Amino acid sequence: MLTPMPLDLRMALARTECDLYSNLVTRATGRAVRRQLESMLREMQGHRLAVLDFTHVGVLDFSCADEIVAQLLLRFGAGLPAHAPAPSSPSYFMFRGLAEAHLEALEPVLEGHGLALVAEAEDGSMTLVGTVDADERAAWQLVLASGGGDVAAIASFSVEARLDLHARLEALARRRLVIQTSAGFHPLRHH
């Protein structure tokens, strides 16, 4: 299992000399914050599970949602097509503290890029946000319910036979919505 690395958005904001603002607004601010986050990520070795906590973010506008969240996901491989080679040290992202107002900005941005992300609620429950079809969602929920493992173990949690589960799990891993290791597929869980 990966050790999660919290990426402090406030610290990233402070490093961009925007520490007066707890609001993530304007494309320039988003770009500066994302570059700080990328720099923090580069300090992490191997497979990386980064937790971005929005709890203290007031306003998130569409431009910042695009520059920080969508561009971060894209740059770390979440939007790669099926035939593209995976990055040697993939990064995974989990998003915490997303309020309804944040989601109003995030959802259209994610949909614009065909992206999705894993959001963790205060009670620890996880949901998918963004562009996800019903089959992907069902496969992701199986990984969550099973706690992860090889395809057979995950499939045993399904009431119906899913011949293409492996392909779906690989697609979820490619989208950075589950973690793929030599032992199988795992949820982006941090405890």
Partner 1 sequence: MTTILTVPPSLDDGSFETLLQAVAAVPDDARVMLDARHTRWSSPYGLINLLTLAQARGDRPQFIPPEDSDTVSYWARAGFFRHAETLMEFTRPVPTKAKTGDSNFFLEITPIAQTEDVQHVVAHIQDRSKAIMETLGFPARGSVGFSVVLSESCQNIIEHAGGPGWVAVQTYNWQKRLGRRVVVIAVSDSGVGFKTSLGQTYSRGATDRWDDAAALEAAVLRATSRFRDPGRGQGLAGIRKYMGKWEAKLTVRSGTARIAIVPAWDDDKALVEQLAPFAGAQYQIIIPQAVQS
**What does the DSSP assignment read for 24-44?**
B-SHHHHHHHHHHHHHHHHTS
CB of 116 to partner 1, least distance (A): 15
Whether the Cβ atoms of residue 131 and residue 114 lie closer than 8 Å to each other = yes
CB of 133 to partner 1, least distance (A): 19
Q: Out of 10, 35, 53, 62, which residue is the one contacting partner 1 (CB under 8 A)?
A: 62
Question: Residue 189 contacts by C-beta under 8 Å, 6 or more apart in sequence?
Answer: 1, 126, 147, 148
* DSSP one-letter code for 149: B
Counting contacts by CB under 8 A, is residue 108 touching partner 1? Answer: yes
Strand partners, 93: 50
Q: Out of 21, 126, 138, 190, which residue is the one contacting partner 1 (CB under 8 A)?
A: 21
Of 72, 77, 62, 92, the closest CA to residue 9 belongs to 72
Instruction: Return the range that interacts with partner 1 (CB under 8 A); candidates 2-10, 19-27, 87-95, 117-125.
Output: 19-27
Applying CB under 8 A, the site for partner 1 has a residue count of: 28
Residues 32-61 that bind partner 1 (CB under 8 A): 58-61
Of 149, 138, 145, 146, the closest CA to residue 172 belongs to 138
CB of 55 to partner 1, least distance (A): 14
Counting contacts by CB under 8 A, is residue 147 touching partner 1? Answer: no
Strand partners, 94: 51, 118
Which residues contact partner 1 by CB under 8 A? Answer: 18, 20-21, 23, 25-29, 58-63, 66-67, 70-71, 99-101, 104-105, 108-109, 112-113
